[in-house]
Amino acid sequence: MKKNIKVMHFVIGLGVGGVEQMLLKTLPLMSKNIENIVYSINPGEIGDKLAKLGIKIIYCPKVNIFSLVSDFKKVVKHEKPDLLITYLMHADLFGRFFGRLFGIKKIICAKRGILLNYEYLKYFDRLSSFLVNKYVCVSKTLQKRLIDNWHIPAKKVVAIPNGVNINIFNQIKLNKTKMLAELKIPKGNLIFTYTANLRDQKGHIELVKALNLVNLELKKLSVPKEVSCSIMNT
């Protein structure tokens, strides 16, 4: 009989966000021989949804760093995970150091992006990369940056883009003409929709500037269209 693989996912919070949504979409679909455990400090609605789908959720009492270390050790010793996957910078750093210290032999760092600030954390991330068995990136661009700029060995970095269940969109029925009228978008415009949190690192300002440049180029070419950008805050 094939032995089950126990995977522990460490994320700081389980509110609504990209990482949390990805966990909600993928963990319930994993092979039955993979036992997933999500360890988090902050509870949230995604955690509740995962629990209802049968995923084991463990919350740490957020008191101080010492209680976090103690609780993390207790969970690791009790659950004995075969693999630890960490998400986002703070969980990445904490997980690789204390995961190794408490006996987890395989650690994956799931890179979702590069922070635009916290330079000192990025410095420690690079220095401690030897503690990570594999880096999983959501894009080829991020993969290349880790290899070229952070000097992570290429054999340790793999790109696995987020999957999208297109059946969700097939079930949605929209009246395009009515929606364009409600949004006051002229008929014939090129439409670009960008969905992300309204945070600096998401690049909303850069996107608007880029689309303005596109509009200028279209006018030079005498193309009777403009790009309409709709930004949805998640």
CATH 3.40.50.2000 maps onto the chain at: 5-159
Please, is 226 exposed, middle or buried when counting C-beta atoms within 10 Å of its C-beta (0-12, 13-18, 19+)?
middle
Q: What's the one-letter identity of residue 147? A: I
pLDDT the model gives residue 72: 96
- Rounded average pLDDT over 86-111: 95
Q: Concatenated DSSP letters for 14-58?
A: -SSSHHHHHHHHHGGGS-TTEEEEEEEEE--HHHHHHHHTT-EEE
- Rounded average pLDDT over 85-113: 94
Q: Could you report the per-residue pLDDT of 129-172, keeping only the tens digit for each?
A: 999 999 999 999 899 989 998 889 999 999 998 887 788 777 77
Task: Report the chain's mean pLDDT, rounded to a whole number.
Answer: 86
Is the pLDDT assigned to residue 234 strictly greater than 60?
no
What is the spatial distance between Cα 26 and Cα 23, in angstroms, rounded to a whole number?
A: 5
pLDDT the model gives residue 223: 59
Burial 19-55 (b: 16+ CB within 10 A, else e): bbebbbeebeeeeeeebbbbbbbeebebbebbeeeeb
- Rounded average pLDDT over 65-83: 95
Q: Could you report the per-residue pLDDT of 152-161, keeping only the tens digit for each?
A: 999 999 999 8
- Rounded average pLDDT over 102-115: 88
Is the pLDDT assigned to residue 219 strictly greater than 80?
no
User: Please, what is the Cα angle at 95 between 32 and 117, to 5 degrees?
Assistant: 120
Lowest mean pLDDT among 86-90, 188-192, 208-212: 188-192
pLDDT the model gives residue 1: 52
- Rounded average pLDDT over 183-187: 80
Q: How confident is the model at residue 229 (pLDDT cuts 50, 70, 90)?
A: low
Q: How confident is the model at residue 118 (pLDDT cuts 50, 70, 90)?
A: low
- Rounded average pLDDT over 90-105: 95
Taking alpha carbons only, the member of 75, 65, 76 closest to residue 102 is 76
Q: How confident is the model at residue 228 (pLDDT cuts 50, 70, 90)?
A: low
Q: How confident is the model at residue 62 (pLDDT cuts 50, 70, 90)?
A: confident
pLDDT the model gives residue 184: 82
- Rounded average pLDDT over 187-198: 76
Domain covering 5-159 in this structure, CATH number = 3.40.50.2000
